[in-house]
Structure 1
Amino acid sequence: MDATNIIQTEYSELMQKSYIDYAMSVIVARALPDIRDGLKPVQRRTLYDMYELGLRYDKPYRKSARIVGDTMGKYHPHGDSSIYDALVVMAQDFKKGMPLVDGHGNFGSIEGDGAAAMRYTEARLQKVTQEVFLSDIEKDVVDFGPNFDETEKEPIVLPVKMPNILINGAEGIAVGMATNIPPHNVNEVLDGVVAYMKNPDITNHEMMNYITGPDFPTGGIIANKKDLLNIYETGSGKIKIRGKIEVEQVKGNKERLVITEIPYTMIGANIGKFLNDVYSLVESKKTNDIIDITNQSSKDGIRIVLDLKKGANVETLKNLLYKKTKLEDTFGVNMLAVVNGRPETLSLVSVIKHHVDFQYELATRKYTNLLQKARDKKEIQEGLIKACDVIDLIIEILRGSKNIKDAKACLINGDTSKIKFKSEISKIQAGELHFTEKQASAILDMRLYKLIGLELDALKKEYEETLNNIATYEDILENRSSMAKVIIKQLNTYKKNYGRERRTVIDNLKEAVVVEEKIKTKDVVFLMDRFGYAKTVDVSVYERNKEAADSENRIILTVKNTDKLCLFTEQGQMHLLKIIDLPHGKFRDKGSPIDNLSNYDSKEERLIFVDSILNLADKKLLFITKKSMIKVVDGKEFDVTRRTTSATKLNDDDILLNISIYDENNTIVMRSRKEMFLRFACNTIPEKKKGAVGVRGMRLADNDEIIETYFVSDDSDTISVDVKGKEVVLNRLHVANRDTKGVKK
Structure 2
Amino acid sequence: MDKVIAFIRGAAGRDEVISGLQKKFSLSKIQSKAIAEMRLYQLSRQDVDERKEELSDLKNTMAELKSILADRAKVMAIIKEELQQLDEKHGDARRTVISDFDGDLNTEDLIPRSQVVVMRTYEGYIKRVGLDEYQAQHRGGKGRIGIKAKEGDFPVELYSMGSHDYLLFFTTAGSMYFLKAWQIPDVSRYSKGTPLVQLLQKLDAGRKEKDEKVLCMLPVANIGGDGHYFLFATKKGIIKKTRLEEYSSRIKRAWASDQGFRAITLKDKDELIGVAISEGDSQVMLATKGGMANRFSEGEVRIVGRNGQGVIGMRLKDKDEVIGMSLVGSEDILLTITEKGYGKRASADNYRLTRRGAKGVLNIKVDEKSGYVVATMTPGDANQILATTSSGKVIRTYVDTIRQIARIGRGVKVMAVDDDETVVAVALHNEDDEEKNADPPSNGEVCPACNSGKLVLDDGKYVCGTCGLIKDA
TM-score by length of 1: 0.28
- Structure (1 or 2) with the larger CA radius of gyration: 1
More strand as a share of residues: 2
TM-score, normalising length from structure 2?
0.44
Instruction: Indicate the structure whose relative CO is greater, using CA pairs within 8 Å and at least 6 residues apart.
Output: 2
